[in-house]
Structure 1
């Protein structure tokens, strides 16, 4: 492909103005492409994540077009369950597959896109991208944000072996038919190679951060006043999605062991499928030291991160190297000290250890989490915070990452 301005189509369920997870990064990617002069379109759904509720200004809309940051966004209606289980999630994803078909059919008869980027999960929406690439001879990229089937299997969200085998075969087919596959971590890359995919077509595209916007700021400029927390007390913050992959139920029990410490506050900020359950558990245990708050606007993210003395980046053992916790990039850029659950030998574990930019903790262990918190409470974490910021500036800069990504595509 020549180095020239392109017509780019991005296809995925999640997109801006979702503030966390995949939608945040897809939105920033599309905006960056448009800033470089490319003609960018997006086929996506109504924003709903992580609240699992369609945002107020989009309710009642069907097939809807809007333009944000010079990106043409074509939204589709779909089913969003109030309570999530495996069957409802599948119905949720297939409803988007159906509604987005009304975007793809007209696209076959219009001016050709030079590049189509499919955002996984869900993996099976890639069939529309693949069909389009056959008819239009376009370059097809599959961007793997989450190895969804592996995670569903390992987290026992899907146990039907026959169904799993079919899904793995379909996933492999779509990966093989892609011109390029991009993914977040070396661990995810290794897992994709083990699926029978050639290493030469895999491009690293780690999640990034705006290091100019998210940077270290003093506590007195944080949200401590808003949360009514004294400046000298200790704040342990979990911010982001509250779902099954995070395994946050054990945090409730750990927080209970600090009830006697009036100067230690557990702050939970965000939304997700498990939030109501977590709030009920905290209420039943009488955890006056744990408070829940809604997801904060993006413009408040630096002040939110500055509120914490200790950040929590938690996920279950079986999610290691299958998902890269997106919240970690912001914490590193803010110069925060994070307790990170990671399995020995995983790429996340190696990065944290090699750069001394956090406190490692065994996943799914109350005892290990409590010990890690005790270490963070007693240790001088100044150097960890400096290392975190240094790593973000060197490896997580958005312009550097996306420029490198486009260079690799153009080179081929």
Structure 2
């Protein structure tokens, strides 16, 4: 980083600390990593509201809208929270973030700003990054979700004009970035299909393997299976309820714990009640400081993915589970990234998404085999330490930043 040390970086993300899941923790670590390497970092974000769509009491009055944490100056904006949290409501909220962000940029120091980083799933945030970068700064668009792909896969927009407009907007915004960073080769291919011709690099999800490490597993007479994270449509958690129903019918004795919040929470609670499932319980997300202990409370974790969105998003929780040294079963489309990772890491079992019978069978089989669970756990921990450790991945990001900044200077 010697060439860009002591210059300014601007990070634009609708999500940031203290949000416990989603992209917030990753953007927080990225901004703090830049600051730790000598850059003066400004962040423009929303007041925290994910995943439940409510701003915590201590952030509502705006007293925490300007803070400095770990060398990062954070400017928080009042979010526009639409009661109907479908894709149209989300787009309205994201559009308002763009407008409020433009105003906020007037108060963010711009002199000697070399780097602008924007996060998509919000393509409006990428547009804000392009405007903020102007002609002087290198713009890096990080794509964690491809919005048009998720909208099409979940049938939010159909195949009509709005979906076509969204794809064109994505291509327009991303083609104006110096570098687009995606999570996988599948996402890279999908962006090429919608017309993105900019430089694309793969920046995988990272995990702090020192902070999230294996903990002693509490001894219990029952096997605990846990899902932890957002309760949303793209998680396709209906198949987990179907699995629970089959396991209860079989008298397996497995207990399923669902920890999280999100738009599908009431639907899941209603399904458990209507089916009289005594083997399912719900709980809140735990604070980040207790994450490793929380992971250890489950004998097996579960990752659930909607079959139509595998190429447009990557469930980040898999890296946390592996770092914690826990085995898991993933329900995902065949030939997807998760299936490829299962073969490469030998750390988890994959079954076809939407096949509750296969999911129940895999869970029951793994629950009966303690040695298999231990082997998967060891393999997962080794895999993330080698390939997804936070410092390794973010140092790679710094290399990409430096090369792009140097190329921009040479072209000037």
TM-score of the superposed pair, with normalisation by structure 1: 0.92
Task: Identify the residue that residue 191 of structure 2 maps to in structure 1.
Answer: 192
Structure 1 CA distance, aligned partners of 2:355 and 2:252? 24
Shift of 1:82: 4.4
Task: Identify the residue that residue 130 of structure 2 maps to in structure 1.
Answer: 130
Shift of 1:263: 3.5
Task: Identify the residue that residue 387 of structure 1 maps to in structure 2.
Answer: 379
- Unaligned segments of structure 2, at least 5 residues: 405-412
Matched-pair contact (CA < 8 Å) for 1:62–1:77: no
Picking from 222, 227, 244, the partner of 1:238 is: 227
- Helix, strand or coil at the partner of 1:317: coil
Matched-pair contact (CA < 8 Å) for 1:18–1:49: yes
Structure 1 CA distance, aligned partners of 2:158 and 2:175? 25
TM-score of the superposed pair, with normalisation by structure 2: 0.92
Determine if the alignment matches structure 1 residue 282 to structure 2 residue 272: yes
Q: Which is worse superposed, 339-348 or 269-278?
A: 339-348
Task: Identify the residue that residue 360 of structure 1 maps to in structure 2.
Answer: 350
Structure 2 CA distance, aligned partners of 1:262 and 1:163? 47
Matched-pair contact (CA < 8 Å) for 2:208–2:389: yes
Deviations 1:287-323 (A, max 9, x none): 2211100111011111111011111110111111211
In the TM superposition, 1:224-235 aligns within 5 A as 231-235=220-224
Task: Identify the residue that residue 326 of structure 2 maps to in structure 1.
Answer: 336
Task: Identify the residue that residue 74 of structure 2 maps to in structure 1.
Answer: 73
Picking from 213, 216, 221, the partner of 1:215 is: 213
Task: Identify the residue that residue 227 of structure 1 maps to in structure 2.
Answer: none
Matched-pair contact (CA < 8 Å) for 2:94–2:124: no
Structure 2 CA distance, aligned partners of 1:203 and 1:97? 25
Shift of 1:129: 2.0
Structure 2 CA distance, aligned partners of 1:406 and 1:110? 20
Matched-pair contact (CA < 8 Å) for 2:17–2:25: yes
Structure 1 CA distance, aligned partners of 2:384 and 2:344? 14
Task: Identify the residue that residue 38 of structure 1 maps to in structure 2.
Answer: 39
- Helix, strand or coil at the partner of 2:209: coil
Structure 1 CA distance, aligned partners of 2:217 and 2:367? 17
Task: Identify the residue that residue 4 of structure 1 maps to in structure 2.
Answer: 4
In the TM superposition, 1:149-298 aligns within 5 A as 149-159=148-158, 161-198=160-197, 201-220=199-218, 231-259=220-248, 261=251, 263-298=253-288
Q: 1:110 to 1:385 in 2, by over 3 A?
A: closer
Number of equivalent positions: 400
- Helix, strand or coil at the partner of 2:334: coil
Shift of 1:160: 5.2
Shift of 1:332: 0.6
Determine if the alignment matches structure 1 residue 119 to structure 2 residue 119: yes
Task: Identify the residue that residue 52 of structure 2 maps to in structure 1.
Answer: 51
Deviations 1:339-386 (A, max 9, x none): 112222222211111221100010122122112212222332222111
- Helix, strand or coil at the partner of 2:308: helix
Shift of 1:388: 0.4
Shift of 1:88: 2.1
Structure 2 CA distance, aligned partners of 1:127 and 1:354? 36
- Helix, strand or coil at the partner of 1:372: helix
Shift of 1:213: 1.4
Task: Identify the residue that residue 223 of structure 1 maps to in structure 2.
Answer: none
Structure 1 CA distance, aligned partners of 2:315 and 2:110? 38
Structure 1 CA distance, aligned partners of 2:302 and 2:121? 24
- Helix, strand or coil at the partner of 1:114: strand
Structure 1 CA distance, aligned partners of 2:314 and 2:208? 17
Matched-pair contact (CA < 8 Å) for 1:181–1:203: yes
Matched-pair contact (CA < 8 Å) for 2:59–2:65: no
Shift of 1:62: 8.1
- Helix, strand or coil at the partner of 1:252: helix
CA RMSD of aligned residues (A): 1.9
Task: Identify the residue that residue 409 of structure 2 maps to in structure 1.
Answer: none
Q: 1:357 to 1:395 in 2, by over 3 A?
A: same
